Amino acid sequence: MRALGETPQFTPTLAAANVQGVGNAKERSVIKRGKPEGPIRWTTLGNAPYPRPDEPCSGFLLQAGGANVLVDIGGGTLAALQQYIRLEDLHAVWISHLHADHFSDMPLLYYAFAFSEKPLRKIPVLAPVGWAQRVEAFVKSSVEHKMKSFFQVIELKDRGIAEIGDLRIQARVVEHGVPAFGLAARFGDRRLAYTGDSGPCDNLVSLAKGSRVLVAECFSREIEIPSVHLSPEDAGLTAAHAGVARLVLTHLGPGLEEDEAIERAASTFNGAIEVARPGMVIEA
Ligand SMILES: [Zn+2]
Ligand SMILES: [Zn+2]
């Protein structure tokens, strides 16, 4: 069984993302294996373009079968994450692209692991090419800081699949002017897709096909061609072409109000539409 019916290209590094069975049952959450049952939970930590008093940048907690994955790690998300889980219960980090609003708390996650009061297990961090060097340049000091000391350094590849317990996360390349990926999460027969940041493209549709829920960025108030972001109409069209039941708009750009975004997305999509807010939990 393969996500989206496509042939996954396992790479040696992606295979390292299989972290089933890690952890000490007494102290840490354990990923249950066996028949995948139950929902995929997607909690919005934040989706603002810069940290606001009441909302971090883009970051989401993806959970299924006991696995806890932080998807995107923009400014403020590391603090918000710990309102839901302890860092020792985090099993993986998956980062769509290296723009600051999706990535800027990564140096601080490194600090959390490097300076933690009690040792944290090594977890995979999956992100576009060069992510580790970027963080190492940021935290550079008189002592050597290497990401591989605390993380499994994994660079995302198109169609690559990471397995965290029975949760499978497939990456697809999307259109954002920099190396960027969307994801399709699959747990048993449950599926959820997330666009990351992207302009309209075929890969977004194939990514979301078969999913009940599409979490789509909606950063463009204006309709631009070509674009590295989705307008509400684009998000609606992507959802319609993919045949999802529910569209969750995230990462609304400046000047785009919730009501306007929903109304405009509804002009191209007939299903349920809502706007993600911090603390909002979706089950797929
Ligand atoms: Zn971006
Ligand atoms: Zn963004």
User: What is the distance between the alpha carbons of residues 130 and 149, in angstroms, rounded to a whole number?
Assistant: 16
For residue 251, report the distance from its CA to the centre of ligand 2, in Å.
7
Q: 173 in a domain, yes or no?
A: yes
Q: 30 in a domain, yes or no?
A: no
pLDDT value for 206: 97
For residue 176, report the distance from its CA to the centre of ligand 1, in Å.
7
pLDDT value for 223: 80
Give mean pLDDT in consecutive 10-residue pieces for the chain, a chain of 284 residues: 34 39 48 83 97 97 97 98 97 98 98 93 97 97 94 98 97 98 97 98 97 97 88 98 98 96 98 98 96
Strand bridging mode 190-194 / 181-187: antiparallel
For residue 234, report the distance from its CA to the centre of ligand 2, in Å.
16
Closest CA to 47 of 92, 96, 93: 96
Q: 219 in a domain, yes or no?
A: yes
Q: By the 8 A CB rule, do 103 and 132 touch?
A: no
pLDDT value for 225: 81
Domain at 54, CATH number? 3.60.15.10
Closest CA to 179 of 103, 93, 86, 262: 103
For residue 222, report the distance from its CA to the centre of ligand 1, in Å.
16
Q: 267 in a domain, yes or no?
A: yes
What is the extent of the structural domain holding 279?
3-24+38-283
pLDDT value for 15: 38
How many structural domains comprise the chain? 1
Helix, coil or strand: residue 111? helix
Nearest ligand (C-alpha, residue 219)? 2
For residue 22, report the distance from its CA to the centre of ligand 2, in Å.
32
